[in-house]
Amino acid sequence: MAWIYLGLAGILEVFWSTMMKASAGFAKLDYSIYTIIGMITSFLFLSKAIKVLPMSLSYPVWTGIGAVGSIIVGVVFFHDKLAPLTWVFVALLLVGIVGIKVTSGH
């Protein structure tokens, strides 16, 4: 269950970072509220995961999911442009996240 909490925390990190972008620097109240709710909920799920999983695994996986997810959201929804070589490093991030999960023994 801890890994599910950690996955949800990572997805919510993508959510709140997306809402922060949509808030236009907290100028749009509705998106600003979504950002704060997403942050709090993401931290709550992370805190549930860290009760069971080591911090040395939980935090990197959480930030990794957030990083990869935010990159994908940025490219798909905000039309961010990434160099082809950058995608290699995004793939390495993904491999690292999966590798941590597979080798963690939890």
pTM of the model: 0.89
pLDDT digits (tens, 9 = 90+) for 40-59: 999 999 999 999 999 999 99
Kindly tell me if the per-residue pLDDT of 106 is higher than 90.
no
Across 67-77, average pLDDT: 97
Across 24-47, average pLDDT: 98
For every residue of the chain, DSSP letters joined together read -HHHHHHHHHHHHHHHHHHHHHTTTTTSHHHHHHHHHHHHHHHHHHHHHHHHS-HHHHHHHHHHHHHHHHHHHHHHHS-----HHHHHHHHHHHHHHHHHHHHS--
Predicted pLDDT of residue 82: 96
Percent of all residues in the chain with a pLDDT value above 70, rounded to a whole number: 100
Q: Per-domain residue ranges for the chain?
A: 2-103
Across 1-6, average pLDDT: 96
Predicted pLDDT of residue 105: 79
Across 95-104, average pLDDT: 90
